[in-house]
Amino acid sequence: MQKRQLGRSNLHIAPLVLGGNVFGWTTDQHASFAVLDAYAAAGGNCIDTADGYSIWVPGNKGGESETIIGEWMKRRGNRDKIIVATKVGWELSPTRKGLSRAYIIASAEGSLARLQTDYIDLYQSHRDDPDTAPDETLEAYDRLVRAGKVRVIGASNFSAARLEASLESSRAHGYPRYESLQPLYNLYDRAGYETELEPLCIRENVGVITYSSLASGFLSGKYRSANDLAQSTRGAGVGKKYLNARGLRILAALEETAQPLRTTLATVAIAWLIHRPGITAAIASATTPRQLDDLIAATTLPFGPADAERLNQASNPTPEHAT
């Protein structure tokens, strides 16, 4: 896969980033290793995880995904070939959350230990902490960067106002700046990113790495009826949000685009993302190497302007919204 520069940093990442949220959740270590091996063999070089993955699973404490990734890199001896992107700040317990100086420093040490490495390539604020000033958060990251424990920092789930305030803090104090943003963004969920965050990221040259790139699987075409929804634990949430007239219109446009290209809806949905202006990469997860094949295919799909326009129009959030 051809690599893309992340913001103004010296990191160059593949346009398809492998999501590690399923490791230790729906895939055990053996299955996770198979997916990781297939991703690396295809030329992928960036894995996204978090200290909170997968705390929602009964019996888990958080960090299970990092532990699996760390063990995989140790056994394969490929740490220098992998860009590890992890996160801090999600609530793990009432006392383990936020972006305070002390919490970031302590959490980084935990992630480093689980990943079995002495540096994190991309360390991201998982969600904004309105109770902590950007100066304090960025000063903590500055300490980690100066110590060689973090190479580059990024943000996730930030509003445009808070991202802009953080960038200004970095300029004012000489702190490392957020070189990437990880927003919810896909063919269905467009307005939240495109309205304010997209112009800010393009203006400031902040790389954008999208999450929920397939809208919880909806854009793969697997959910088209109430019966489909009933077959999945995600079904209720997916149906409530996506299974409506606009969602079905998007699936129809994906189908129309995929058929002549002899590919899948998921491949086209990812291709649309990685061809969008300002998008560095799309995160997508897979539980088997076969699922991964469709995602990797998006990086070489002959996706043209007419394909993009068809999907832009079908997924237009409102009649007034620019595409």
pLDDT in tens, 128-171: 999 999 999 999 999 999 999 999 999 999 999 999 999 999 99
Q: Could you give the CA distance from residue 6 to residue 185 in angstroms, rounded to a whole number?
A: 17
In this structure, the number of other CB atoms found within 10 A of the CB of residue 58 comes to 4
Q: Could you give the CA distance from residue 279 to residue 182 in angstroms, rounded to a whole number?
A: 10
pLDDT, residue 323, reads 39
Q: In percent, how much of the chain has pLDDT > 90?
A: 92
Q: In percent, how much of the chain has pLDDT > 70?
A: 97
CATH code of 4-222+264-310, in short, is 3.20.20.100
pLDDT band at 321 (very low <50, low <70, confident <90, very high): very low
Q: Could you give the CA distance from residue 10 to residue 7 in angstroms, rounded to a whole number?
A: 8
Give yes or no for a contact between 323 and 194, defined as CB atoms under 8 angstroms apart.
Answer: no
Residue 67 has pLDDT above 90, yes or no: yes
Which residue has 């919490």 as its token pair? 103
pLDDT, residue 298, reads 98
Average confidence (pLDDT) over 3-8 = 98
pLDDT band at 237 (very low <50, low <70, confident <90, very high): confident
Average confidence (pLDDT) over 52-71 = 96
223 is catalytic: no
pLDDT, residue 218, reads 95
pLDDT, residue 320, reads 43
Q: 3-state DSSP: the chain helix, strand, coil percent, rounded to 5?
A: 45, 15, 40
pLDDT, residue 226, reads 75
Q: Could you give the CA distance from residue 250 to residue 256 in angstroms, rounded to a whole number?
A: 10
Q: Could you give the CA distance from residue 50 to residue 41 in angstroms, rounded to a whole number?
A: 23
Q: What is the dihedral of CA 35, 40, 46, 52, to 10 degrees?
A: 30
pLDDT, residue 227, reads 78
Higher-confidence residue of 236 and 320: namely 236
Average confidence (pLDDT) over 61-75 = 97
pLDDT, residue 229, reads 72
Write down the mean pLDDT value for the chain.
Answer: 95
Give yes or no for a contact between 190 and 205, defined as CB atoms under 8 angstroms apart.
Answer: no
Q: Which of 39, 53, 103, 178 is catalytic?
A: 53
Residue 15 has pLDDT above 70, yes or no: yes
Average confidence (pLDDT) over 206-228 = 91
79 φ/ψ angles, rounded to the nearest 5 degrees = -55, -40
pLDDT, residue 223, reads 82
Residue 197 has pLDDT above 60, yes or no: yes
pLDDT, residue 235, reads 63
Return the structure tokens found at 256.
């129309």
pLDDT, residue 236, reads 64
Q: Could you give the CA distance from residue 29 to residue 37 in angstroms, rounded to a whole number?
A: 12
Q: Cα separations (Å) of 123 from 52, 67, 97, 182, 207? A: 13, 16, 15, 12, 14
Q: Cα separations (Å) of 215 from 41, 219, 234, 299? A: 26, 6, 11, 19
pLDDT, residue 234, reads 63
Which residue has 């799909």 as its token pair? 301
